[in-house]
Amino acid sequence: MSLTRLLFFGMRVDGGTVKRLMKDRLTRKCMLSVVKGIAHFGIRYPQPAGAPIAIVWNVTNRCNLNCLHCHQDSSPAACQGELTTPQAFKVVDNMSDAGVAILAFSGGEPLLRSDLHDVIKRADDSGMLCTIASNGTLLTAEVAKKLAEVGIKRVEIGLDGASAETHDFLRNKPGSFEATVEGIKNCAALGFDELAVTMTLHSKNINELEETMDLAERLGATRFYLNRLIPAGRGKDAIYLDVKPEEKIRALKTLYNKFYRSVAAGVGMQCYARGMTYYSRLGYEHSNGRVFTVSESLSGYEKMFKGEFGLKIADIVNRLGTQFGGCSVGLTYAGLTASGDLTPCVPAPIILGNLLEQSLEEIWTKNELLNYVRNRKAMKGSCKTCAYSSICGGCRYTAYAINGDWLGTDASCPFGPKILDA
């Protein structure tokens, strides 16, 4: 019996389901990466993959907007260190050789890169699932159609309020709301496998959260991400906009209620949180461990699983909570800059190595910082003592940004540690 099948057997997955799962290319690539991770690191909790399963690549730092919260400090003039087309192809091949399963094209605004279609096609031809994150203002019907033709399967667009006044405030450009709404409509009409809308939570839009979720769903979104302000780039200067802990809890409850209803009804837009791993804790507590997100993007209730596997995948994913739950840094995800530098995560200004000069697998398995971050048993402070450390564990970048230690306390947590009675 192969190691992959043994892993599924250990999760009490029947043979028929295993066969159907392994026919799916994305699932197969993810599981093979886990097997490679066991070969490199041994069986660990949480389990690092043999290479990043997902990479978010900021293919350019240029952007047609000048958002207040941008953790890349992108602007129309920022173009330093951008790869040439042949260099971008080399980086794509490096990721493909390592077994990367999901490649997200981001920025800046990735649509400003003139060779974007060629780079996406290279990645799609190599077998990676390609997604794109855009501010939506440039997503005309023609642009959306071309993205689908070259291999984009999932689209993500930022919508930071239900009104022009609220959205344009954060995006720092009048008229961006209308253009973004049109971009979402154009992508919905085309019918990508997934259309995600993201909203960055702050004090001036928290009262529009429900309205924004409703608007996103009416426009055709199948998934909704609630982000928080990240202390990186221009985002450092926007932290004054952050919400209070009790407001954050209220927002997360609103988000979870929408998520739970979509699971119970079997239809509707699914809602996730980013940079807030404690969303898993909230869901776990509210459902007695039955319905919660295991990571920022996985719950097992996704539409792509339902038709083929029903609720079996949700059961499997829930059992994976301690193996793959919480922050993905050093485990299944990494960031990549416009110049080809690998980073622990997108906002982290720390270069681990360059994919023009080193193999991704070598950087991933041998880098000292990544190996330090992987040792979650050595976490410190509240995240160590919390009963939910195995399914939440806190945002590791925030711990570093605030405390100077990747294994320190996530100061953004609004709950505090849950201490079990002796």
Q: Give me the helices (H) in 334-418, please.
A: 360-366, 368-374, 382-385, 396-403
**Least trusted range by pLDDT, from 19-23, 158-162, 291-295, 394-398:** 19-23
Only one residue has tokens 């209803």, namely: 261
Cross-strand partners of 270 = 223
Q: Cα-flanking dihedrals φ and ψ of residue 314, to 5°?
A: -60, -40
- 13 Rama sector, left if φ>0, alpha if ψ -120 to 50, beta otherwise: beta
Higher pLDDT, 236 or 80: 236
**What average pLDDT does the segment 254-276 reach?**
91
Percent of the chain with pLDDT over 90: 73
Residue 267: band (very low, low, confident or very high) from pLDDT cuts 50, 70, 90: confident
Residue 353: band (very low, low, confident or very high) from pLDDT cuts 50, 70, 90: very high
Residue 76: band (very low, low, confident or very high) from pLDDT cuts 50, 70, 90: confident
Residue 106 pLDDT: 97
Mean pLDDT, the chain, whole residue set: 89
- pTM, entire model: 0.92
**What average pLDDT does the segment 227-246 reach?**
95
Higher pLDDT, 309 or 101: 101
Residue 29 pLDDT: 85
Residue 1: band (very low, low, confident or very high) from pLDDT cuts 50, 70, 90: very low
- Label residue 169 exposed, middle or buried (CB < 10 Å: 0-12, 13-18, 19+): buried
Residue 325 pLDDT: 66
Residue 421 pLDDT: 56
- Label residue 2 exposed, middle or buried (CB < 10 Å: 0-12, 13-18, 19+): exposed
Residue 79: band (very low, low, confident or very high) from pLDDT cuts 50, 70, 90: low
- Taking alpha carbons only, the member of 274, 294, 291, 295 closest to residue 283 is 291
**What average pLDDT does the segment 218-245 reach?**
95
Higher pLDDT, 7 or 196: 196
Higher pLDDT, 51 or 30: 51
Residue 143 pLDDT: 98
Residue 311 pLDDT: 47
Higher pLDDT, 308 or 368: 368
Higher pLDDT, 312 or 36: 36
What digits encode the pLDDT tens for the residues 10-33?
A: 555 566 666 666 667 777 888 888
What digits encode the pLDDT tens for the residues 354-368?
A: 999 999 999 999 999
Q: For the sheet with 152-158, list strands across it.
A: 270-273, 223-228, 194-201, 152-158, 129-134, 102-106, 54-58, 333-336, 341-343, 353-354
Instruction: Measure Cα distances from 166 to 66, 206, 416 in Å.
Output: 15, 10, 30
**Least trusted range by pLDDT, from 78-82, 103-107, 128-132, 401-405:** 78-82
Helix (H) or strand (E) holding 224: strand 223-228
DSSP3 helix / strand / coil % (the chain, rounded to 5): 45, 15, 40
Residue 19 pLDDT: 64
Q: List all residues 6 or more positions away from 245 whose beta carbon is below 8 Å from its beta carbon.
A: 414
- Does 108 sit behind a cis peptide bond, omega within 30 degrees of 0 on the bond before it? yes
Instruction: Measure Cα distances from 288 to 128, 282, 314, 396 in Å.
Output: 36, 10, 15, 26
* Alpha-carbon span 152 to 133, nearest angstrom: 11
**What average pLDDT does the segment 91-107 reach?**
97
Residue 31 pLDDT: 80
Percent of the chain with pLDDT over 70: 86
What digits encode the pLDDT tens for the residues 162-214?
A: 999 999 999 999 999 999 999 999 999 999 999 999 999 999 999 999 999 99
Instruction: Measure Cα distances from 295 to 194, 344, 390 in Å.
Output: 17, 17, 11
Residue 46 pLDDT: 87
- 40 Rama sector, left if φ>0, alpha if ψ -120 to 50, beta otherwise: alpha
Residue 77 pLDDT: 73
- 30 Rama sector, left if φ>0, alpha if ψ -120 to 50, beta otherwise: alpha
Res. 291: pLDDT tops 90: no
